Amino acid sequence: MHSLLVVAALFVAQTPPPKATPDDARAFVKKLDGDLRKLYVRQSQAEWIKSTYITDDTEQNAAAMNEDLMAYLNQANKAALRFKGLKLDPDTERMLYLLRISSALPAPSDAAKRTELANTAAKLEGLYGKGKSCKAGKPGKDGKHVPSGAEGPTTECRDLQQLSDVLGKIADKKKPASYDQLLEAWTAWHDTSKEMRPLYERLVTLSNEGAKEFGSGDLGELWRSAYDMSPAEFEKETDRLWTQVKPLYDDLHCYVRARLSKKYGADKVSATGGIPAHLLGNMWAQEWANVYPLVEPYQGQASLDVTKKLVDQKYDPQKLVKLGESFFTSMGLDPLPPSFWSRSQFIKPRDRDVVCHASAWDVTYSNDLRIKMCIKVDEEDLITVHHELGHNYYFQNYYTKPVLFQQGANDGFHEAIGDALTLSITPEYLKSLKLLDTLPKDEKGLINFQLKDALEKIAFLPFGRMIDQWRWDVFTGKTKPAEYNKHWWELRLKYQGVVPPAGARTEEFFDPGAKYHIPANVPYMRYFLARILQFQFHRAMCQAAGHTGPLHTCSVYGNKAAGAKLKAMLAMGSSKPWPDALETLTGQRQMDATAILDYFAPLQAWLKEQNKGQQCGW
């Protein structure tokens, strides 16, 4: 047994003292910090290698490191129970709370089940990263085809990026993808996740068992405990925030559906029902920016084609990242360390499988900052780069704290930082970079710009809300394995007004597994909260910068006062409850979606006019 695990076992093996003291608790968390730091670093290094070089060996190595961490957290959580009810200093109390909620995948104490859980998690993420849709090609020398789905010299295989590129061409000016091509690409990717279903079912069973040992009823309840309020209160909070923004989403959905129905015909896009998932320009219909040319309000306005300008100016992936860094440094934050540029993965290697899903890392919890992406030089990845660097700058500002404090005030905060700065990527800012030729000069230009923005930011909100609702229902047992796909599409219709292409998807499929965060077991509510918080952060930074006028006209690029406010919040990490961190930047102690409505007020008024006479909803 690893030496750290021996220490962990001793936490429980020894007879707990009859009366634990606050001094005992302080000594416990000090020891905990040192042990966890070592385990976190080993796990992070193994995960980095696995994600950037997918093989059976790297998957097994990562699984072993995860298993060690799972075992330690299980034992440490049990040992921490003896401090329950003690009056402790705030830092010690906070660390014990963060310990309890620290694992998104809690393992049972049974060693065999723990090993099985670690291996299952590694296999699921590996299946996603290696996922390809293959078709048999020309016959080989023996006249036989290689079976479809098996790679070989006579097969044609496409990965997620290639299939997503097809969906992204829904409105391509030169050669748009046809309805049938869109349907085929969507189906091809979603069919790759079929074999995940039994593995995912087992992951649910084992992680629920671990969550119960951590003191929660199931894994979803443990996740909802991570927000400085009760699980029930948190669920009510997400409902409250969704209720604030739903009217704006409904207006957007109604407008887009009418335009798509006109293009494809009411037989393919119902004028009153859900929108088929393959017709929104994104593999998961979570962001709709690629359909903008099909729904553009006013043609002939200033071009908003930032991608063309990036290509014309010969941006490469590293130059795109440099552009993102320059936004943060303009506000007074430090440059990224030199190691960032030598250790990050910016492009997809040609010689191996990697996880292309964008992510940010501090691999050794000591300012060892990196991003992992397969960057495309386009507007979407310009935004994604800013988002990932937001994580890196959070890491950079709290890495000197105890390791349990090295995280966002809540996980929504971490996702919101970079996105808040993207709201300052205004037409004026883009024109200063020569990524736009002219500025929108009137209301028509403004509506075009805001609609394009809303197709990314507002379209995402219900998707962000429903992913974890599906998992919460799965974890509680409300949704049985025999109804995984059925419930998935019920929630997508309820929240998004989106339906599967070409009719129902049966339980033969496991469509949730086609979205990375399901097989990778990454909680998703953080992304919904981030879309709320980014506007709240933006409004606060604009106020700090002394901005007057409509919120959508504000850019904090180059403003040191806004940067100082942001930096003060980043430096807190998770050392205080999130309302304290929120108050540091915004002066508010409650998450608030009204900043979204402020920002998109011109667009919402316009959408309501356009939708008159339409039967909105589904």
Banded model confidence at residue 422, pLDDT cuts 50, 70, 90? confident
- The residue that leads in pLDDT, 139 or 351, is 351
Do the beta carbons of residue 359 and residue 414 sit within 8 Å?
no
Confidence at residue 143, expressed as pLDDT on a 0 to 100 scale: 37
For the packed helices 578-586 and 525-544, what is the interaxial angle rounded to 10 degrees? 30
How many angstroms from the chain centroid is the CA of residue 608?
Answer: 30
pLDDT tens, residue by residue, 234-277: 999 999 999 999 999 999 999 999 999 999 999 999 999 999 99
Banded model confidence at residue 367, pLDDT cuts 50, 70, 90? very high
Predicted model pTM: 0.86
Other CB atoms within 10 Å distance of the CB of residue 350: 5
Section 480-492 average pLDDT:
98
pLDDT of 302 over the 70 cut: no
Helix (H) or strand (E) holding 320: helix 317-330
The CATH number for 235-610, chosen from 1.10.287.130, 1.25.40.10, 1.10.1370.30, 1.10.3720.10, is: 1.10.1370.30
Cα–Cα distance measured from residue 227 to residue 120, given in angstroms and rounded to the nearest whole number: 28
Cα–Cα distance measured from residue 76 to residue 13, given in angstroms and rounded to the nearest whole number: 11
Measured CA distances, 570 to 260, 405, 407 (Å) = 42, 11, 10
How many angstroms from the chain centroid is the CA of residue 611?
Answer: 31
Q: Is 278 considered catalytic here?
A: no
Banded model confidence at residue 301, pLDDT cuts 50, 70, 90? confident
The residue annotated as part of the active site, out of 2, 145, 357, 517, is 517
How far does the chain reach from its first CA to its final CA, in angstroms?
57
For the packed helices 231-264 and 443-457, what is the interaxial angle rounded to 10 degrees? 120
Do the beta carbons of residue 499 and residue 559 sit within 8 Å?
no
Percentage of the chain beyond pLDDT 90 is 81
Cα–Cα distance measured from residue 566 to residue 394, given in angstroms and rounded to the nearest whole number: 10
Banded model confidence at residue 219, pLDDT cuts 50, 70, 90? very high
The residue annotated as part of the active site, out of 388, 414, 415, 456, is 388
> How does DSSP classify residue 494?
I
Confidence at residue 153, expressed as pLDDT on a 0 to 100 scale: 56
Residues contacting residue 465 through CB under 8 Å, at least 6 positions apart: 238, 242, 495, 525, 528
Q: What is the three-state SS of 195-261?
A: CHHHHHHHHHHHHHHHHHHCCCCCHHHHHHCCCCCCHHHHHHHHHHHHHHHHHHHHHHHHHHHHHHH
Do the beta carbons of residue 533 and residue 466 sit within 8 Å?
no
DSSP class per residue in 104-159: SSPPPSSHHHHHHHHHHHHHHHHHHHT-EEEEE-S--TTSPPPPTTS-STTEEEEE
- Provide the residue ranges of all domains of the chain, joining segments of one domain with +: 3-100, 131-193, 235-610
Q: Is 538 considered catalytic here?
A: no
**SS3 state of residue 310:** helix
Confidence at residue 572, expressed as pLDDT on a 0 to 100 scale: 98
